[in-house]
Chain A
Amino acid sequence: GAVVSQHPSRVICKSGTSVKIECRSLDFQATTMFWYRQFPKQSLMLMATSNEGSKATYEQGVEKDKFLINHASLTLSTLTVTSAHPEDSSFYICSARAWQGANSPLHFGNGTRLTVT
């Protein structure tokens, strides 16, 4: 159980275009989802916390107008990279908790590798 599906797995886009990444919890409801970014050979950096029915909470230094997050339902959060540039090329990965207990791990999607040309 506790499956998180992320789509697409890979995307190549031209500079200036926008890209939408979907994150779905398949067998549980998630009021909160987390979006991370990972550069090659580096750790996961939290970008924002996506809250169902309300605005996302962004980490310091993350441009909210560039990385639009929408959490329209209890099973779907989307991250849109607007006006993408080559420096936005990265691995984006979403996650959610299946339950609220202290010992509940984050379940991750398989990630999206974005390449901006």
Chain B
Amino acid sequence: AQKITQTQPGMFVQEKEAVTLDCTYDTSDPSYGLFWYKQPSSGEMIFLIYQGSYDQQNATEGRYSLNFQKARKSANLVISASQLGDSAMYFCAMREDRGAQKLVFGQGTRLTINP
């Protein structure tokens, strides 16, 4: 069964600093996708970035980048030049490409950006 682990319940970072949010996963499927979502206090889920298991390069989307280390089964999210508006819950998620293709979420990390 697929499993996603986020070991940081909370992170506190000074504005303008970079922050890394950890995510490890476990799957027996060789083909899978990894996703990061942001959930502000309002509750909506905002898609940030995607990394495919066969992608050779780390994904980047603006200030977001994904540090994908396949052998270690980790997919850490890096936010550069953090802003006050980055304060939110962040969820790592995985979808195996076979079977039901369900998206399974990690426990989440609450990121707080301090001015």
Show the binding face of A for B, using Cβ within 8 Å: 34, 42-46, 49, 57, 91, 93, 95, 102-103, 105-108, 110-111, 113
Contact = CB atoms under 8 A, between A and B. Distances in A.
Interface of B: 31, 33, 35, 37, 42-45, 47, 50, 52, 91, 97, 100, 102-108
B105 A43 contact: yes
A contacts with B: majority SS = strand
A11 B46 CA distance: 23
A109 B31 CA distance: 27
Contacts of A111: 43-44
A100 to B, nearest CB: 9
A87 B44 CA distance: 22
8 contacts: A34-B103, A43-B105, A43-B108, A44-B105, A46-B102, A57-B100, A102-B52, A113-B43
A43 B52 contact: no
Contacts of B102: 34, 46, 49
